[in-house]
Structure 1
Amino acid sequence: MERHDMIKELMEAADQKMTPKQANIIRAAIEIFAEKGYAATSTSEIANRAGVAEGTIFRHYKTKKELLISIVTPMITRFAAPFFAEKFVNNVFVDENLADMDTLLRELIKERYEFVKQNVPLLKIILQEMAFHPEIQRGYREAFVTNVLPRFKKAVELFKEKGQIGDFPTETVMRLTISTVAGFMIARFIIMPDFDWDDEQEIEYTLRFIRNGLIDG
């Protein structure tokens, strides 16, 4: 799968042309926010790593908070780490994946695995900061409601009609699926990144866990 270029994606999402210095600022901020968290990061640290004067940051961003939001908002609205990207929905919720639940779940897990693998620093930032910033929470909700909810509900209802999902409310099926896949990604890439994982086997274990839980409703 093609490797994501975070700076390029952020520029496209923001629909603006970044100068080389601005791109360096964004890259440095992503790295340090992911390493230390937003609150523990100073703009002087970002400037030092970016190789620019601290005043250069404030020519582009009025505050450190504005810099954070400029990084996170495009991530959410375009990709919404780790589930709610329009591109993700278009890749996963296609007719050929709706033939059976296993096919859809496997595609969902593998697609999100590849995406998170290439964007761990941004995932760390979102997980660290979501609880503290209403703007991030709002973007997350809006992306889910707009891009994912209708397609996910349609797929769940279809599999329920086929007898592939037990007698669970549709919203419960979505919650259980999302929380299980998100838990796998967080454990794999953030909590235990250095563990000797067999990723293909872990994907199959995750698929089996979701499938067996949902079929016995």
Structure 2
Amino acid sequence: MTAEPNDAWVEELLRLQDTDSKMTEKQMKILQAAVDIFAEKGYAAASTSEIAQKAGVAEGTIFRHYKTKKELLFSIVGPLIAKFVAPFVLREFTPILDAPYDRYEDFVRAIAKNRLEFARRHLPMLKILLQEIPFHTELREQFKTVVLQEIYARIERVIIQFQKAGQLVPLPPLTIVQLSASALVGFLISRFLIFPEQEWDEEQSLESVVQFIMYGLTPRSHTP
């Protein structure tokens, strides 16, 4: 029986695979099984034998399609970054980045809510990216080039706008992005990876993150 992707992004990944011919049913099973196991265990702890078992194929079948486990990983993450993550992130993110805001706080809150929903819907993909990008230079550089440069340029303009309005401390825009992103990403990692079983008041937790960011970035003359 053909493996059915358990999320829309997996189906999209299969469609975007850059191959000369259609993927076989066995390749689709292998890819789906690899996504599930890489997301659950991480690349280093995953074995091709358990991927084969989950896919319902012989282990040798994997190596007929992918020479190494790393090639299998790259066949997932490479297209995810180049063809799916970048356009998908930008497609969902662009309205947030381009909307008018009266305060930087409102901008941060909109981004936080947007990324929370994105993480909830695409958790397996994000797990693989978070787990593997720090350990694979090629993936890290590809991610920085394809995604971060596009997004950072837009956010930098917003930061400069609010600095000119006196709403943000006069730190370099990159520093402000790093500080804001550290707090938000830390919250998302805690919510979905470290303490997923804990009961969360997401609205209150997210608001606490926003206020934490703003406390550090608001000029003292603007604090209540």
TM range (shorter): 0.7 to 0.9
Q: 1:142 aligns with which of 145, 155, 177?
A: 145
Aligned residues: 211
8 Å CA contact retained: 1:153, 1:170: yes
Q: 2:205 aligns with which of 202, 206, 213?
A: 202
| Contiguous gaps of at least 5 residues in structure 1 | none
- 1:162 equivalent to 2:165? Answer yes
The equivalent of 2:3 in structure 1 is none
**AA of the residue aligned to 2:85:** F
CA distance in 1: counterparts of 2:23 and 2:165, whole angstroms: 50
Per the alignment, do residues 184 and 172 of structure 1 end up closer, same or farther by CA in structure 2, a change over 3 Å counting? Answer: same
The equivalent of 2:85 in structure 1 is 79
8 Å CA contact retained: 1:76, 1:85: no
Per the alignment, do residues 14 and 216 of structure 1 end up closer, same or farther by CA in structure 2, a change over 3 Å counting? Answer: farther
How many percent identity over aligned positions? 43
CA distance in 2: counterparts of 1:13 and 1:104, whole angstroms: 32
Per the alignment, do residues 101 and 12 of structure 1 end up closer, same or farther by CA in structure 2, a change over 3 Å counting? Answer: farther
- 1:54 equivalent to 2:59? Answer yes
Q: 2:176 aligns with which of 173, 176, 185?
A: 173
8 Å CA contact retained: 2:96, 2:110: yes
User: Does the residue aligned with 2:215 lie in a helix, a strand or coil?
Assistant: helix
Instruction: Give the superposition deviation at 1:38.
Output: 1.2
Per the alignment, do residues 105 and 15 of structure 1 end up closer, same or farther by CA in structure 2, a change over 3 Å counting? Answer: farther
CA distance in 2: counterparts of 1:143 and 1:202, whole angstroms: 31
8 Å CA contact retained: 1:72, 1:126: yes
TM, length-normalised to structure 1: 0.87
User: Does the residue aligned with 2:169 lie in a helix, a strand or coil?
Assistant: coil
8 Å CA contact retained: 1:130, 1:137: yes
**AA of the residue aligned to 1:63:** T
CA distance in 2: counterparts of 1:99 and 1:76, whole angstroms: 33
Give the alignment of 1:176-195 within 5 angstroms. Answer: 176-195=179-198
Q: Deviations over 1:126-167 (max 9, x none)?
A: 222223211111122212443112101111111111222122
Give the alignment of 1:1-217 within 5 angstroms. Answer: 5-15=8-18, 17-77=22-82, 78-79=84-85, 85-96=89-100, 98-216=101-219
Q: What's the C-alpha RMSD, in Å, of the aligned pairs? A: 2.2
Per the alignment, do residues 143 and 198 of structure 1 end up closer, same or farther by CA in structure 2, a change over 3 Å counting? Answer: same
Q: Deviations over 1:5-63 (max 9, x none)?
A: 13123134435554333222122111111222212222121111011222332233222
Question: 174-183 or 103-112: which moved more?
Answer: 103-112
TM, length-normalised to structure 2: 0.84
Question: 146-155 or 178-187: which moved more?
Answer: 146-155
| Contiguous gaps of at least 5 residues in structure 2 | 1-5
User: Does the residue aligned with 2:198 lie in a helix, a strand or coil?
Assistant: coil
Instruction: Give the superposition deviation at 1:103.
Output: 2.4
CA distance in 2: counterparts of 1:18 and 1:140, whole angstroms: 25
